[in-house]
Structures are given as structure tokens and as C-alpha cells.
Amino acid sequence: MLRVQRGPVHAPRYLIDDMVDDVAERLAFLRHEPRNSLVVGDWSRALRLRLGGVVTEAEPADGFDEERPYPFAGFDFVASLGTLDTVNDLPGALVHLRKALAPGGLALVSMLGAGSLPRVRAALLAGDGGRAAPRMHPMVDVRAGAQLLQRAGFADPVADSHPLRVRFADLDQALDDTRQQGLGNVLARSGPPLTRTGLERAREVFGRRTQESFEILTLTGWNR
């Protein structure tokens, strides 16, 4: 089971801003000009200006449940930004997303992919003495993303990803940064806390002024 975890008001925004910019660029490339859009999750003025028309906003943290049939439909564009990687039933959530689209509608889903935070993962594994502990929730890779789109009934499904690289002063900053963005361990049953010795070992393995990588996974599909 996963639990919702939100970052504070003044949390870093580089991940969601990258997702928003990428979605805006894809809309321009596809020359898709929606008149009736649904945006699930955080977003910014950049996407608002690109969409135009009527825009409906839905925020899971405010009670919008992506794992249930949407209470509205008929959109020619739906964007889900940074939320679907933490639902329990991702295939079902994608089905509900597709059903919210009008015929010919486009869906764009952006979320963290399985290639995210390799150096943090390696450091935490070392801190756990090489025994894997549930420190992060499972994430989807590109191949699985494409399969999920097909399973949900999308036409012309495309899954791709790109890296976003960020340099951190040390492991503590990396962990604090990700937690502030709501990206910490969202498993309902997390692993035992690291011991003081384990944490020091993890800090040593991660090092200082280390460049970390986030994988931004994007799923694209049409409702034909």
C-alpha cells in the first residue's frame, strides 16, 4: 500500500517545473490545441498559458482519487503531473484517465521513472549492509509504461524518458530535497530506520558534491 505524501509550501520545484515544461513542449510539437483540459497534480503558469480554453484542476491531496472513475469526462486533453507513480492501482488509474477523454483526446502522464536516484539508492543499500530494505516505493520503467498504456486501451501509446541531473552537497541534502518534494518513502510499511553507523556509511558512499539523476518518465496516448 502507498500513502499520500506532500511536500511543504516552499519545497523545491525543479522536478514539477521540468514536467510542466516538457508537457508544454509536447503539446506544441503535436499541435494539439485543447479547448477543454483536465490537469491532475501541481502545475504552473507556463502550462496554463499553453492550454487556454477551459481548464479543470484536480489535486489528489485535496481528495481527488485517481483510482476511482473520474467524476467528469469529455476532455480533449488530460495531463497527470507527478502523481501516478504513487497510486496502488496504476493500470486502473490509467483506464480511468482514458475514460475521462473525449474521442480523439490526448493524455500525457509525467512521473518519476525506475532509473531515478541511483546514487542515493546505492548509498542507502550500503548503509543497510547490502541487504535491500524498502526505502523507496516501486517505480515504472519505459518498457512497463508502454505496456501499461496498451493494457489501458490507449491508441498510439508512447513511453519515453529523459534524465534531470541535480548536484547535491551531500546525502543529507539529497534526502531532504526529495522529501520536501513529497518523494520520500511513501510505502505504508517502510523499512527499519538506518542505524547511526549505517547512516554514516551511506553518507560516505554518497560522497560530497555528487551529481544525482532523476528519470522523468512520460506516457502519451490517445482515445481513438
Q: How many CB atoms are closer than 10 A to CB 190? A: 15
Give pLDDT, residue 180. 84
* Beta-strand relationship, 101-112 and 155-168: unpaired
Q: For the chain, list the domains and their CATH numbers.
A: 14-116+137-169+213-223 (3.40.50.150)
Give pLDDT, residue 147. 96
Report the predicted TM-score, pTM, of the whole model to 2 decimal places. Answer: 0.88
**CA 115 to CA 103: how far, in whole Å?**
33
Give pLDDT, residue 193. 83
Mean pLDDT by 10 residues, the chain (224 residues): 39 86 90 90 70 87 91 94 91 96 96 94 92 83 95 96 95 90 72 89 96 96 94
**CA 175 to CA 195: how far, in whole Å?**
16
**CA 35 to CA 152: how far, in whole Å?**
24
Q: For residue 160, give the C-alpha cell.
A: 519515453
Residues forming beta bridges with residue 31, ordered by sequence position: none
